[in-house]
A and B are shown apart, each in its own frame.
Chain A
Amino acid sequence: MDVSLFDVAGPIMVGPSSSHTAGACKIGQMARALFNGTPKEVEFYLYGSFATVYQGHATDRALLAGVMKLKTSDAHLADAFEIAEQKKIRYKFIPVKKEVPDYHPNTVKIILKSKKNRLSVIGSSIGGGEVRINYINDIPVDFELMAGRFFSLIIGHSSEEASLEPLFEKLKEWDCPITDSQTICNVKDAPKSCITALNIEDFYLKLPQVQALEKLPGIEFVRALTKLVPK
């Protein structure tokens, strides 16, 4: 994708650091998008410079805020701990002192748990608010996301070539712009399962619309990362 004016003039974000704050928030958002429902408990394992300077850069609040679907520009990011308390989400930050060689210096492993589900995501903040998701449930993946751009739709689907067609049709019908799309498939599973991330910048899908998408054949789940947290 070509460089936009707003990659230079942006993202609009809550400080202090594009990589340690905005990027961290983005990784949290991604983890939450992949998780089904509200987590009861979240653990953050911090590596590299995330482990050493996370408090000064508010990496902890940003990660937690992301898990609660706050945007990188939401001033409430600073109140993440209080919001988590209200929502009764338990959280823990565990700085891992030893170096893990094949991770980028700014890396976090997030484990989300609820009664029924457990999910782990490993992501790195690679600079200027850009992040990379390296592992989902220990399966190697490679998603790159921009902090300013709002990847709003995460879709789980079967690997059938045509399975996304009807979904794209629907989005087109609603005049929803798709500015970027990435698909990752898990090659280890027998019937392959895939995840696709769509960037639908500045377009808000309503809940019935998301539900309509989920009913389409071949689609397992659809998560919309739109603004959700009460003001």
Chain B
Amino acid sequence: MYQFKNCQELLDLCKKEKLPISQIAIKREMQIFGKSRPWVRNKMKKVRDTMEEAIELGVKSTKKSKYGLVGGDARKVYKTINRSSNMLHSKVAIRAMAYAIATNEQNARMGKIVAFPTAGGSGVVPGVLFSTHEHMKSSKRKMLNALFTASALGIAILKHGGTFSAAKAGCQAEVGIGVAMAAAGVTEMRGGTPEQCLNASALGLKNMLGLACDPLGGLVEVPCVKRNAIGATIAMAASDMSMMGVESVIPMDEVVEAMMNISAGMSETIRETALGGLAITKTGLKLREKMGLPPVPKKYLDWKNRKPGNASNKCGGCNGCG
């Protein structure tokens, strides 16, 4: 059986079968869903092609989203790639940022994208993988395998009690998991072992823990788009460190547990409700008004007098009356 319930079991399977994560993922899909290898690969090719199209359109477009909050930044970043000598990041990292922004900007302007793991966190994986693929001039097969590895990690996270829902766990579950998946995928693409892949995702996700979901006006635009770009650089840093032999003290499964125990203590204001964080800053509120959305109830704006973790200061904050 190629079934696994968490990252440790996935790693054990890789060791037992002497296979990389991507191959275990393919075999699992074939076995559980009764599909042929070509069917599985073709379906992932569609995913890859959709990502590529979104990137191609996104780095060229200057079109703004409906409310004009995002659009055109991918192009700005992409244009600097060949003048990157005075930038702090390498060309491959800058290109990853450009591709991540491109994907999320396309999403914001109703383009076709792959929700990976969700629409909001859809930029990190293609950003990191396509840029590295270009840099390494690696084969198409390797690119596809990296997507399998990233997806396998997503499965292990879900099976271990994780979630992709920002309404449950905030942005750590969207962009955060995007970072973890991208780190694992790119590490396999660079020839890392399954251990190094999982270690890279642990390093990556640890740096996204606790991240609030606080989108302005509830739209998947600010801070989402740029969060994906900087998330991409975190995934690359995590992969680099893992390839250099730096190990995460906390194993990946436990990082997922940490993400969930943090979410249990997260106020609802920073779980996709647009009632906390950046969404209720002075600028956030001004833009909200401009969009014609109903005002944020007063109790959420009075956060200075609130006990930590409480959504409002009316009561004990059990949210039962919420």
Contacts and interface: CB of A to CB of B under 8 A. Distances in A.
Answer whether A and B are interacting partners. yes
Interface of A: 2-18, 21-22, 49, 52-53, 55-58, 73, 75, 77-78, 105, 127-129, 148, 177, 179
Contacts of A129: 115
Contact of B155 (A5, A15, A17, A52): A5
Nearest to A106: B167
Contact of A52 (B114, B152, B221, B293): B293
A231 to B, nearest CB: 14
A129 B47 CA distance: 16
A28 B114 CA distance: 21
Contact of B29 (A4, A18, A57, A128): A4
Contacts of B167: 105, 127
A204 to B, nearest CB: 16
16 contacts: A2-B33, A5-B29, A6-B151, A10-B47, A10-B116, A11-B114, A12-B114, A13-B114, A15-B107, A15-B112, A16-B110, A56-B67, A73-B50, A73-B112, A128-B118, A177-B34
B44 interface: yes
Given A13-B114, A21-B110, 15 more contacts: A5-B40, A5-B148, A5-B152, A9-B151, A11-B115, A12-B46, A13-B113, A14-B112, A18-B120, A53-B217, A53-B219, A56-B66, A56-B67, A56-B219, A73-B112
Contact of A3 (B34, B155, B220): B155
Q: Is the contact region of chain A dominated by helix, strand, or loop, or is it mixed? A: loop
B155 A6 contact: no
Contacts of A15: 106-113, 119, 220
Contacts of A18: 115, 118-120
Interface in B11-41: 25, 28-29, 32-34, 40
A179 B112 contact: no
Nearest to B217: A56
B110 A9 contact: no
B204 interface: no
B158 interface: yes
Contacts of B150: 8-9
B136 interface: no
B154 interface: yes
Nearest to B274: A53
A179 B217 CA distance: 38
B49 to A, nearest CB: 9
Given A9-B150, A17-B220, A77 B114 contact: no
B277 interface: no
Interface of B: 25, 28-29, 32-34, 40, 43-44, 46-47, 50, 65-67, 106-120, 147-148, 150-152, 154-155, 158-159, 164-165, 167-168, 181, 217-221, 291, 293-294
B294 A52 contact: yes
Contacts of A78: 110
Contacts of B294: 52
B161 to A, nearest CB: 12
- List the 8 closest A-B pairs by CB distance, nearest first: A8-B154, A15-B107, A5-B151, A8-B151, A53-B218, A127-B165, A9-B151, A18-B119
Contacts of A105: 167
B73 to A, nearest CB: 16
A52 B217 CA distance: 9
Contacts of A55: 66
A4 B232 CA distance: 24
Contacts of B114: 9-13
Contacts of B154: 8-9
A154 B258 CA distance: 42
> Which of A52, A56, A73 is most buried by chain B, counting CB atoms within 10 A of its CB?
A56
B32 A2 contact: yes
A2 B35 CA distance: 14
Contacts of B40: 5
A68 B285 CA distance: 36
Contacts of B151: 5-6, 8-9
A53 B273 CA distance: 11
B159 A3 contact: yes
Given A3-B158, A128-B115, A9 B47 contact: yes
B319 to A, nearest CB: 14
Contacts of A4: 29, 32-33
B115 A56 contact: no
Nearest to B294: A52
Contacts of B220: 15-17, 57
Contact of B115 (A22, A49, A75, A77): A22
Contact of A49 (B110, B152, B218, B221): B218
Contacts of A9: 44, 47, 114, 116, 147, 150-151, 154
Contact of A8 (B110, B155, B168): B155
A179 B32 CA distance: 11
A10 B111 CA distance: 15
Residue picked from B50, B113, B159, most chain A C-beta under 10 Å: B113
